[in-house]
Amino acid sequence: MKKLLTTAAATALLFVAQPEPVFASKTIDVASTFPKNMVFLGEGAENLSKLLSEVSDGKFNLKVYGAGELVPPLEVFNAVSTGAVQAGWDWIGYWGGTVPVTGLMGAMPFGPTPEVFLGWMWEGGGREILQKAYDPFNVQVFPCHLTAPEPGGWFNKEINSVDDFKGLKMRISGLGGKVLNNLGASTQLIAGGEIFVALERGRIEATEFSLPIIDQSLGFQNVAKYYYFPGWHQPSSWNSLIMNKDVYNKLSDLEKEQLEVACKANVVYTMSVAPAAQIPVLEKFKAAGTDVRRFPPQVLQALKAESAKVLAAEAKNDPLFKEAYESLLNYMNSVNQWHNLQSLSTN
C-alpha cells in the first residue's frame, strides 16, 4: 500500500510540475497599399498589428510590408484574392474597378460624417453588404480604420467656377474622380508614394490624397500653390484589412475574435488622433506661402448635383451598389432625425 501511495504522489507531483502547454504563435503577412511608415494611413496597419499582438498575448501577429515590397500597391486586392499574399491593408475605394460597391464603401461624395459612417458600417448593415461583394473573390474584410474629412485637394490653378475643372489633369480616387470626369477633368488614380513626382513633373496639375498631416509628409506643399476645402469627395473614408478566406478559415474562433477586437480598437485610435493634429499643419502651410481656400459655393453646388447623378448611375448599374446606397441613405436619414432633435443650435 505504501508503495502505491508513493507512486500516486509522484505521479501527481509530476502532473503539477509540468509547464502549461505552449501554443505556437501565428504571423500573417500583410501587403499594404501605403508606404509602411506613412503618417496615419501606413501607421494604421502598424497600430492594428500592435493591438492584435496585445490582445493575443503575442500569439497572433501581423507582419506589415510597405507598398511595393510584396506586390505593387494597386494589385493588393488581386494578390489577396488569389492567395499570392495572405492579407492586405488598403483604402477600400481602390477596388472600385473590380468591385463597384467599394467606391461607395471607401467614401461617398457629400456623404456621411465619420460617426454616421461608422455606425452604418459596423451596426447598420454596411459590413454585411461589403462582405457579400467580396465573397466571390475569396476575400474576408475588416473595416479597421476610419479617416476624418479630407481636404478637397492641391491645385496649381484657381478654381473659381465649375468650368475651371475642364481639361484639368488631376489625381483623384473613387467616385469623386467620376464626378470630375463628367465635369470635363481628366483624372487618374496614382498610388500615394508616386503622387509627388507626378505633380512635380507636370504629369498632373492637381491632386487629392488625405489629411493635411499626411499630405505634408508627402511634400505636396512644395509643388502646389492652392489647397482647397472641403473634401466633398471624402467627408469620411474607410481603410480595411483584407484576408484571403482560406487563411481566415484556418484561424481558431479565439483568433477571429481577437482580430475583431483589435480591429474595433483601431477604429477608436483613428477617430481620436486625427482631428486635433490638422490645424497646426495648416498654419505651417500658410506661413510657408500655401494659399488655403474654400471652394466657392457655386462650385460646391455643381459638384453636389453631379455627385447625385453619378451615385444614381452606379446604383442603376450594380445591384450591390444599389443595396448599399439605399441602405446608407436610409441610415443617414434616421440618424439625422435624431441629431436634429438633439441639436443645441439656438437659431
In whole angstroms, what is the distance from residue 54 CA to residue 52 CA? 5
Res. 10: pLDDT tops 60: no
Res. 294: pLDDT tops 70: yes
Residue 24 has what pLDDT? Answer: 65
Res. 265: pLDDT tops 60: yes
> What confidence tens digit (pLDDT) does each residue in 50-65 have?
999 999 999 999 999 9
Model confidence at 9, in pLDDT bands (50, 70, 90)?
very low
Q: Where in the chain is the domain with CATH 3.40.190.10?
A: 153-234+281-333
More confident of the two residues 163 and 14: 163
Residue 259: C-alpha distances to residues 60, 66, 120, 191, 270 (Å):
9, 21, 20, 27, 16
Residue 25 has what pLDDT? Answer: 86
327 CB contacts (<8 Å, ≥6 apart)? 120, 124, 125, 126, 129
Model confidence at 301, in pLDDT bands (50, 70, 90)?
very high
Model confidence at 276, in pLDDT bands (50, 70, 90)?
confident
CATH class of 153-234+281-333: alpha beta
* Closest to 155 measured CA to CA, from 99, 106, 226, 82: 226
Residue 21 has what pLDDT? Answer: 42
Residue 36 has what pLDDT? Answer: 86
Q: Where in the chain is the domain with CATH 3.40.190.170?
A: 27-148+235-276
* Closest to 53 measured CA to CA, from 262, 254, 242: 262
Res. 16: pLDDT tops 60: no
What is 27-148+235-276's CATH superfamily?
Bacterial extracellular solute-binding protein, family 7 (3.40.190.170)
